[in-house]
Amino acid sequence: MKGFAMKKIGSVGWIEKEKPTIGPNDALVKPTAISPCTSDVHTIWAGAIGERTDMILGHEAVGIVEEVGELVKDFKKGDRVICAAITPDWNSIEAQGGFAMHSGGMLAGWKFSNFKDGVFAEYFHVNDADGNLALIPDEIDDVAATMVCDMMPTGFHGVELADVQYGDNVLVIGIGPVGLMAVAGATLRGAAQIYAVGSRPNCIELAKEYGATEIINYKNGSIEDQIMNLTNGKGVDKVIIAGGDNDTFATAIKVLKPGGIIGNVNYLGEGEFVKIPRIEWGVGMGHKTIAGGLMPGGRRRMEKLLGIVKAGRIDPSKLVTHKFEGFEHVEEALFLMKDKPSNLIKPIVIIK
Amino acid sequence: MKGFAMKKIGSVGWIEKEKPTIGPNDALVKPTAISPCTSDVHTIWAGAIGERTDMILGHEAVGIVEEVGELVKDFKKGDRVICAAITPDWNSIEAQGGFAMHSGGMLAGWKFSNFKDGVFAEYFHVNDADGNLALIPDEIDDVAATMVCDMMPTGFHGVELADVQYGDNVLVIGIGPVGLMAVAGATLRGAAQIYAVGSRPNCIELAKEYGATEIINYKNGSIEDQIMNLTNGKGVDKVIIAGGDNDTFATAIKVLKPGGIIGNVNYLGEGEFVKIPRIEWGVGMGHKTIAGGLMPGGRRRMEKLLGIVKAGRIDPSKLVTHKFEGFEHVEEALFLMKDKPSNLIKPIVIIK
Amino acid sequence: MKGFAMKKIGSVGWIEKEKPTIGPNDALVKPTAISPCTSDVHTIWAGAIGERTDMILGHEAVGIVEEVGELVKDFKKGDRVICAAITPDWNSIEAQGGFAMHSGGMLAGWKFSNFKDGVFAEYFHVNDADGNLALIPDEIDDVAATMVCDMMPTGFHGVELADVQYGDNVLVIGIGPVGLMAVAGATLRGAAQIYAVGSRPNCIELAKEYGATEIINYKNGSIEDQIMNLTNGKGVDKVIIAGGDNDTFATAIKVLKPGGIIGNVNYLGEGEFVKIPRIEWGVGMGHKTIAGGLMPGGRRRMEKLLGIVKAGRIDPSKLVTHKFEGFEHVEEALFLMKDKPSNLIKPIVIIK
Amino acid sequence: MKGFAMKKIGSVGWIEKEKPTIGPNDALVKPTAISPCTSDVHTIWAGAIGERTDMILGHEAVGIVEEVGELVKDFKKGDRVICAAITPDWNSIEAQGGFAMHSGGMLAGWKFSNFKDGVFAEYFHVNDADGNLALIPDEIDDVAATMVCDMMPTGFHGVELADVQYGDNVLVIGIGPVGLMAVAGATLRGAAQIYAVGSRPNCIELAKEYGATEIINYKNGSIEDQIMNLTNGKGVDKVIIAGGDNDTFATAIKVLKPGGIIGNVNYLGEGEFVKIPRIEWGVGMGHKTIAGGLMPGGRRRMEKLLGIVKAGRIDPSKLVTHKFEGFEHVEEALFLMKDKPSNLIKPIVIIK
């Protein structure tokens, strides 16, 4: 079969591979919509996860079940399904402890385009199909559904990590597609004021639509100063980090109230240390909790998020600014993600 | 001063009383908007809390601070304030343990028109003003603010008790004003499907506006049957009870999934026992948790909920179907609450 | 192979069956120690789970792995293992949501001697071996380990359901083997006073050894009166129910403080309703939460509890009052459990 | 009255001051036992909280109520009481949100020998007496009770921050008096293995007595190496930091499993940043939560912890290695704390 692959660090292209074989618990899926992710870009051009050879890329796809293993109970050939970017081993110790995304080791629930071939192929392999696939309701089209593979669960997990409660004032740093979903997720957890940090016009517009009440543009001064002004010096209850770098945490600590929580879902690609300012962290005793985690995957999570979309609470398809028709356009979509034109939020490729 | 009072069980009328005196931590407030509550009706005509003599009624009011005690730091004469229906003693053991509403004994945080005079008077007394008053933002008018005294916090607390999470399917039983706020609160906690039980047209309409996806009308069969049909026999993740009676719990248990939670905020006025069906409760081992509690009061809670209103997430003033101008109309408003005409959701009286 | 079975309701005996066959994810275990449980007695003589024909009994066993399926990674023939009484399907929706014990339906994680043959046989079948087996540390003998299959996890789960916190005063109702483990578990969660309800001398002695500070004997008056006297009328913070019947809940509600929790792990065998007294339950608003649930099973749980035993925090083998050598004694051990002589807490049968 | 004071940074001595006057909600207490704390040493000789002039030192004391304000309900002259080192304003927004220790600003619940005179005086002032005093049960002597002012609540809070659960393997870094209480607290939350880092013989001995299963001595290699060896490369579930410095966090992150939590209760006295190693922190997505906080104070907390002591679960008086009789010895006790002879854990001064 054909797949679009990372040939080595810095190099991509089309390759031919054997169609994956499946075990008794697994499934084979034929994608109908796929989307490249910033982490594909990190993987290829920054070498973020190390060298890979002829590894098929991609971890955001919806599709049609082609084949299932003999022990799979709930899915069959022809089902229209979603598979999360993270596909845990559900009988692992880690999953039993509530951290399925780290089954088999830290971050090891991230298998697609990391430990095995990804979804930018004619077919892709899904481990533990009963645990990792979910049916897509008829009401939800492929575009919206594809945004539920990674963007929506990652953004929403930031809200969960920050444990947003009714009436919390929340700062969301970064309003790329994940940050935008964090804004929407904070709205859907009862946040009061949502301060969103960003500067690109279409992201700002969508942030407001998803519930941001104020936009913080770094061009207007430091984030700290702007937040402290807007909150009469009180700071915010919670911070969600969906962009920036290691230094973003110092900003977050400074504007966070005692008893507050930082929920990070940003992939930190460089630098040796995240540095927490000692004084503003209450000399270790300020109850400013720092949390960060990979999004949860799995069937139940997908069903829950699709349920939110189906009920009309949110339309994640608004993230999609560039839409291609035909598998061959995946390369173009990926380079778009790399080059980030100013009007891009998220591209998608519809396959046939 | 003049007040509208319960003279004894079954009898109400205008009385004259001394203006309350305040201690060092207290405040005196002059109401500008008041609203009668179903529990006023229970108190007077059902004798729900026992005999009371010449007790001024009412626990939903916003107003202007008239006077504060010498130790009050954050409020002063002239401030436009809200006071929750529940006014805890914040230094009590119970408050320190997170259950301020039961400070001094079960339900004893409910002081207005229960253990002391209520708010249907020219002035009302607020214990621990720094802990129990909150400033009303200019953007919020008295009508909306008055709905934050009891309706919104009670409905939202049902959602908290049921611990609604992203994508949960939720049943809300009862769509009077509290149930409607529970619907809105479930929406603002990320519920997927919200099934709302009710039959009055204007309540149904408002339930849909606040986020209900399906209306369950008891005239169309049992709630159990309807829910099990709508959920393909799976039942719901959470139930919020905001109406009905003791028997409502049996229904809730039957439609609840294992691992689910019932959050009750309905005042159970009669009957010796709430009866939990043993088999459907998993012979005691089904992880169907039954929770119920009085709404939290206090300044922080009021500030948080006002923040949600200010951010435009919800408009609680939609609950108000009948609006009176002039303190003298409180009697009319109260009898409206007693008689419940079919178009009533909630009345309000604007003073001055 | 030989097994000791329920032939039909009210009748037990030895039967011959085919050795179970295993699938790719499963294991076959040869038991080395087994213990009958009160629920075996309910199953046989009260018909608690309905009619069963020639179903092998038992769900508490440790043993040696005889064979594993081709996909099993972490266990091999010859391993000394424990398997919990509850063996969930770990890739189920329910497990993903934190309620593995209800995978496949309410209580359906309980498979042994319920939906499939139990452990009183020459060999028993374990579904999802990687998820449901655990190695037994050398320091722990078979007697102690067998008490970790069901008694210790069930008792400790009562403590978790009641969410015992540092300094809580806790009432444990019932001090059979599960209640005794609840006492020990409450001690190991930092309870202050532990009031244990029971009357049999050896249970009382062991309850004190496991941490009970006061024994409540129903012969000395009602539990309510005794608890209210001992607590100066304040009641307790938490109640764990590990014995009694439907009416026990009324007692628990009456002595529970607002904000308290009841954690039930008692199998409720009869009666239509558990009745919650309305007034003492705070007319639905007293924040007295009622929780009840089947113990969690699975590998991680077993490893955690074995870790506690290995660290010397608790010796669960003290529960064993009657020890038999030889598989043939399982019948005698079971009838002991049925007849409950006054000196019995828990029997065990060592095989070979 | 006489008090032992910090005259300025680096200088201490006896001073005369007016006896404090009390407001309507306050109390005046005459200490009967006091204990200096490492933070007194930081305050005086490291200038940790900045310059202070003639400020009476000390925040660990038990004593006898001398006088109460007119609004104090539950205490009276002659009562034998404890007061926590942290004395929150219970009607503050922060306390209502569950973070009373930060009432009035980050760390501002710490008033004694920080924002007001401390307890090393003939009398000390207690704000909000009903919320901040607790009666000492007759069974508990002054020595044990004084250890409940700060050592036990701080150590136990480390366990709460790390959210230790049944069977967790826990690393406790630092076994001074607070670390020793963290060891005891982890035992009383059901930890399995407890690895305690320290090197002083009497601390090691007491750590074992309080439940440590292994001692990690930095003289035998790095903590990381030792822990990874002892855990077969898996690391620990939770880490409690009760000693060390900013760099201790890097160690903690490295040995912590994904899904784990660090609970810090160590006062970080120097350095600009706490540095979190990016890679080992899972590039921001490893679910290794970093929490740290000032101990909770207040009456309820004191009652709960005294309840644990009264029930015989723990004897905190074992911390006391040096006992003085007579108020005049406070200076000697403080210098002992400064000089830290190898046999010191905690000194106490009994008054009269």
Which amino acid would we find at residue D200? Answer: R
Establish if B105 touches chain D: CB-CB under 8 angstroms: no
CA distances from A344 to A44, B89, B185 (A): 20, 54, 34
Confidence check: pLDDT of B175 > 90 = yes
Search chain C and give the residue with CA nearest D311: C192
Is A311's CB within 8 Å of B160's CB?
Answer: no
CB contact (8 A) between residue B98 and residue D95: no
Test D96 with B298 for CB contact under 8 angstroms.
yes
A93 shares contact with chain C (CB less than 8 Å)? yes
B chain contacts of residue C98, beta-carbon cutoff 8 Å: 259
In this prediction, what percent of chain D has a pLDDT beyond 90? Answer: 97
pLDDT in tens, D277-308: 999 999 999 999 999 999 999 999 999 999 99
Rounded to an integer, what distance in angstroms lies between the CA atom of residue D66 and that of residue B343? 62
Question: Contact D277/A277, CB-based, under 8 Å?
Answer: no
**How much is the average pLDDT of C111-140?**
97
Which pLDDT belongs to residue D48? 85
HEC secondary structure over B203-258: HHHHHHHHCCCEEECHHHCCHHHHHHHHCCCCCEEEEEECCCCCCHHHHHHHHEEE
Give A178's strand partners.
Answer: none
pLDDT in tens, A116-168: 999 999 999 999 999 999 999 999 999 999 999 999 999 999 999 999 999 99
DSSP letter at B195 equals E
Read off the DSSP letter of residue B35: -
Quick one: which of D243, D235, D167, D160 has its CA closest to D203?
D243
CB contact under 8 A, C258 and B94: yes
pLDDT digits (tens, 9 = 90+) for D95-119: 999 999 999 999 999 999 999 999 9
DSSP character string of A192-235 = S-EEEE---HHHHHHHHHTT-SEEE-GGGS-HHHHHHHHTTT--
Examine the pLDDT at B352 and tell me if it is beyond 90: no
Q: What is the pLDDT of residue D131?
A: 98
Alpha carbon A35 to chain centroid distance?
12
Task: Write out the two tokens for B166.
Answer: 């992203």
| Cβ neighbours of B321 (radius 10 Å) | 17
Q: In Å, how far are A22, A208, B239, D108 from A224, measured between CA atoms?
A: 52, 21, 41, 22
Confidence of residue C352 (pLDDT cuts 50, 70, 90): confident
Q: Which of D71, D96, D298 sits opposite B300 (nearest CB)?
A: D96
B26 in Cβ contact with B125 (< 8 Å): yes
- Is A187 in Cβ contact with B307 (below 8 Å)? no
Q: Give me the average pLDDT of each 10-residue run along chain A (352 residues).
A: 97 97 98 95 91 97 98 98 98 98 97 96 98 98 98 98 98 98 98 97 98 96 97 98 96 98 95 97 98 97 98 98 98 96 97 88
Q: Does D192 touch chain C (CB under 8 A)?
A: yes
D240 touches chain A (CB under 8 A): no
* Measured distance CA(A245)–CA(A270) in Å, rounded: 8
- Across the interface, whether the CB atoms of B273 and C268 are under 8 A apart is answered no
A327 inside 8 A of chain C by CB: no
Six token digits for residue C191: 């309870």
pLDDT at C263 over 90: yes
A194 contacts on B by Cβ (under 8 Å)? 311
Please tell me which chains touch B, using 3 or more CB pairs under 8 Å as the contact test: A, C, D
Q: What pLDDT score does D352 carry?
A: 79
How many CB pairs lie under 8 A apart between chains A and B?
82
SS3 A10: coil
Is A300 at the interface with chain C, CB within 8 A?
Answer: yes
The residue-averaged pLDDT of B99-126 equals: 97
3-state secondary structure of C126: strand
Closest chain C C-alpha to B281 CA, distance in angstroms = 9
**pLDDT per position as a tens digit, D232-265:** 999 999 999 999 999 999 999 999 999 999 999 9
Q: Return the residue in D96, D101, D160, D301 with the most chain B beta carbons within 10 A, the one to mutate for interface testing.
A: D96
| Residue B79 to chain C, least CA–CA distance (Å) | 32
- List, in sequence order, every residue forming a beta bridge with B323; answer none if it has no partner: B348
pTM higher than 0.90 for the full model? yes
Give the pLDDT confidence score for residue C341 in this predicted structure. Answer: 95
The residue length of chain A stands at 352
Task: Return the SS3 of C242.
Answer: coil
* Partner-chain contact C284 B266, CB within 8 Å: yes
Distance CA D89, CA B90 (A): 9
B17 phi/psi in degrees, rounded to 5: -140, 160
Give per-residue pLDDT as tens, A317-352: 999 999 999 999 999 999 999 999 999 999 999 997
User: Nearest Cβ partner of C96 from A92, A97, A300?
Assistant: A300
Set out the domains of chain C in order of their start, with CATH numbers. Answer: 2-150+295-350 (3.90.180.10), 154-292 (3.40.50.720)
Contact A183, A207 (CB under 8 A): yes
Do the beta carbons of residue C250 and residue C277 sit within 8 Å? yes
Residues of B in contact with C271 (CB under 8 A): 278
H or E element: which one contains C172? Answer: strand C170-173
Q: Which of B96, B302, B306 to mutate to test the interface with D (most CBs of D within 10 A)?
A: B96
Q: Is D307 on the interface with C (CB under 8 A)?
A: yes
Contact yes or no for C274 and B287 at CB 8 A: no
Contacts of B194 in chain A (CB under 8 A): 311
Does the structure show a pLDDT above 90 at C48? no
3-state secondary structure chain D: CEEEEEEECCEEEEEECCCCCCCCCCEEEEEEEECCCHHHHHHHHHCCCCCCCCEECCCCEEEEEEEECCCCCCCCCCCEEEECCCCCCCCCHHHHCCCHHHCCCCCCCCCECCCECCCCECCEEECCHHHHEEECCCCCCHHHHHCCCCHHHHHHHHHHHCCCCCCCCEEEECCCHHHHHHHHHHHCCCCCCEEEECCCHHHHHHHHHHCCCEEECHHHCCHHHHHHHHCCCCCEEEEEECCCCCCHHHHHHHHEEEEEEEEECCCCCCCCEEEEECCCCHHHCECCEEEEECCCCCHHHHHHHHHHHHCCCCCHHHHEEEEEECHHHHHHHHHHHHHCCCCCCEEEEECC
How close, in Å, is residue A293 to chain D by CA atoms? Answer: 4
What gap in Å lies between CA D3 and CA C66, rounded to an integer? Answer: 75
Say yes or no for a CB contact (<8 Å) between C25 and A71: yes
Element holding A8 (H helix, E strand): strand A2-8
Mean pLDDT of B128-148: 98
Per-residue pLDDT averaged across C9-19, rounded?
A: 97
CB contact under 8 A, B97 and D25: no
> Is D259 near chain A, with CB under 8 Å?
yes
CB A133 within 8 A of CB A149: no
Mean per-residue pLDDT of chain C: 97
Query: D112-143: per-residue pLDDT in tens?
Result: 999 999 999 999 999 999 999 999 999 999 99
CA distance D98 to chain A (A): 8
Contacts of B339 (CB under 8 A, 6+ apart): none
Residue of B228, B287, B289 to mutate for C, most C C-beta atoms under 10 A:
B287
Would you call D282 an interface residue with chain A, using a CB distance cutoff of 8 Å? yes
- Residue among C97, C286, C294 minimizing CB distance to B106: C286
Q: Is C109 near chain A, with CB under 8 Å?
A: no
Hey, are the CB atoms on C190 and D191 less than 8 Å from each other? Answer: no
Partners of chain C (3+ Cβ pairs below 8 A): A, B, D
* pLDDT value at residue A352: 79
Closest residue in A to B195 (Cα) is A311
Quote the crossing angle between the two packed helices C201-210 and C177-187, to the nearest 10°. Answer: 20
Q: Are residues C166 and D187, on separate chains, in Cβ contact within 8 Å?
A: no
% of chain B surpassing 90 pLDDT: 97
CB contact under 8 A, B188 and A190: yes
A97 → chain C, closest CA residue: C300
**Chain D contact set for B101 (CB, 8 A):** none
Residues C225 and C176: their CA atoms lie apart, in Å, by 22
Instruction: Say yes or no for a CB contact (<8 Å) between B283 and C101.
Output: no
Query: How far is D40 from chain A, CA to nearest CA, in Å?
Result: 15
Distance of alpha carbon C24 from alpha carbon A22, whole angstroms: 14
Interchain CB distance below 8 Å, D298 and B96 = yes
> Which partners does chain A have (≥3 C-beta pairs < 8 Å)?
B, C, D
* Closest Cα in chain C to A89: C91
Neighbours of chain D (3+ CB pairs under 8 A): A, B, C
Q: By C-alpha distance, which of B66, B199, B207 is closest to B123?
A: B66
Q: State how far the Cα of B332 lies from the Cα of B339, in Å rounded to an integer.
A: 10
Burial track A184-218 (b if 16+ CB lie within 10 A, e otherwise): bbbbbbbbbbbbbbbebeebbebbbebbbbbbbee
Q: Say whether C277 and B273 touch across the interface (CB within 8 A).
A: yes
Which of D276, D282, D285 lies closest to A276 in CB terms?
D276
Q: How many CA atoms lie within 13 A of C35 on its CB side?
A: 30
